[in-house]
Amino acid sequence: MTATPVIAGLGIGLPPRTGQQEMWEGFFAGHFAGTTRALAGRIFANSGVSTRQAAVNPLVEDISEWSTERRMRRYLTEVLPLGKEAIDRALTEAGVPAPEIGLFAVCSCTGYVTPGPDILLARDIGLAADAQRLFIGHMGCYAALPGLGVVTDFVTARGRPALLLCAELPSLHIQPASTRMDTQQIVSHALFSDAAVAAVVTPPDRPGYAVRDVVAVTDTSTADQMTWEVTERGFRMGLSTRVPAVLAGYVGGLVDDLLTRHDLKRSDVTGWAVHPGGPRILTVVEQELALPPDALWASRETLAEHGNCSSATALLILDRFRRAPQPPEWVVMLAFGPGLTLYATLLRHTGVS
């Protein structure tokens, strides 16, 4: 089997953590009113989230009436230290000095500013002047997977290490208080959380997870079912209740096509890193793939401990696998987002013969 680039180092940067119940009682219970509050309470309680991170914690600072301009200024202030922390840890683990990085790709759908984190972090961590940069924005929760594809292709073509950073700050986009029954915003506020995760991808001469393949499918006829709109008061999530049904129609075929290309079956996969868009998404994937009851343990644990951290979440799940006493040999990463788009990535642990 042909050797492929490997994820030789992962690093995580997290803002302070808060309990979900504390967040509800201390802020969101007063953010909604009347029958909307009762519905919101049920959604928060059934979100699958126990703790979450917030660079801008509403228990300390309510920014729900801030303008988008003000939120974007704060984005840069918060994302740089988190991104640098994640990158420093990933480079150290991989044993790769920053000047050796040939491509630095950043995924983020929660902030836009130029010079952005790709430029400023390249300066702060000491990348070489000839390092290439790529900013991947507004792809949403699945962005880490095409990001991995891009940096892996670069390593294959150029023979130089590459760096991927997924840095998301959904806490910047709390919407103004409302008495209107807006289930989409309630779900968004109940699930999303902040995180930065960096991955160093190197030629296949180090231990780690080899990136074997990346595939995708997009159903543009359902493009209106998941949106992320720029408004005068931050970015606003649109999320249809029909999304799980759309995913159900594609996930089985996408996974089987990916595995067949490598002479594998679902039973050969011992690690399923499924993006936890919410408990219902995980249940649908579990059912459609006929997975054992504990197959999505890492996804559910990540949701409970960290919430939905958009593009950073898939790498948080992968880190959980890496730290397991016996890391799974074959891993399938699955993530979903606007399009509607489904991405799948096949990884193999190079420490397994």
Q: For the chain, what are the domain ranges?
A: 6-202, 209-349
- Average pLDDT score over residue span 200-220: 95
Lowest mean pLDDT among 60-74, 135-149, 159-173, 225-239: 225-239
User: Is the sign of the CA dihedral 336, 337, 340, 342 positive or negative?
Assistant: negative
pLDDT at residue 180, rounded to an integer: 67
More confident residue, 189 or 184: 189
CA angle at residue 177 from 77 to 53, to 5 degrees? Answer: 40
pLDDT at residue 240, rounded to an integer: 86
- Average pLDDT score over residue span 332-349: 96
Distance between CA atoms of residues 223 and 242, nearest Å: 12
Share of the chain above pLDDT 70, in %: 98
Q: In whole angstroms, how large is the CA radius of gyration of the chain?
A: 19
Distance between CA atoms of residues 68 and 140, nearest Å: 18
Distance between CA atoms of residues 330 and 270, nearest Å: 6
Q: What share of the chain is helix, strand, coil (3-state, %, to 5)?
A: 45, 25, 30
Read off the tokens for 208.
């780690």
Read off the tokens for 182.
């807006």
Distance between CA atoms of residues 351 and 353, nearest Å: 7
CA nearest to 189, candidates 174, 176, 168, 178:
174
Hey, do 6-202 and 209-349 end up sharing a CATH topology, with the first three levels equal?
yes
- Average pLDDT score over residue span 12-22: 98
The CATH number of domain 209-349 is 3.20.20.100 = no
Q: Number of H helices and number of E strands within the chain?
A: 10, 13
Model confidence at 2: pLDDT above 70: no
The CATH number of domain 6-202 is 3.40.47.10 = yes
Q: Are the CB atoms for 311 and 145 separated by under 8 Å?
A: no
For 283-330, how does the pLDDT look when each residue is reduced to its tens digit (9 = 90+)?
A: 999 999 999 989 999 999 999 999 999 999 999 999 999 999 999 999
HSE value, Cβ hemisphere, 13 Å, CA-based, for 93:
23
The Cβ of residue 213 has, within 10 Å, a number of other Cβ atoms equal to 17
- Average pLDDT score over residue span 277-284: 94
Q: Is 235 helix (H, G, I), strand (E, B) or coil?
A: strand
Ordered DSSP codes for 268-313: G--EEEE--S-HHHHHHHHHHTT--TTTTHHHHHHHHHH-B-GGGH
User: Is the sign of the CA dihedral 148, 339, 118, 313 positive or negative?
Assistant: negative
For 68-80, how does the pLDDT look when each residue is reduced to its tens digit (9 = 90+)?
A: 999 999 999 999 9
The Cβ of residue 186 has, within 10 Å, a number of other Cβ atoms equal to 24
Q: Across the chain, what does the average pLDDT equal? A: 95
Model confidence at 205: pLDDT above 90: no
CA nearest to 239, candidates 254, 249, 224, 250:
224
HSE value, Cβ hemisphere, 13 Å, CA-based, for 122:
24
- Average pLDDT score over residue span 81-96: 98
Model confidence at 352: pLDDT above 50: no
- Average pLDDT score over residue span 333-346: 96
The Cβ of residue 254 has, within 10 Å, a number of other Cβ atoms equal to 18
For 145-184, how does the pLDDT look when each residue is reduced to its tens digit (9 = 90+)?
A: 999 999 999 999 999 999 999 999 999 999 998 766 688 8
CA angle at residue 232 from 234 to 120, to 5 degrees? Answer: 50
- Average pLDDT score over residue span 40-57: 96
- Average pLDDT score over residue span 28-57: 93
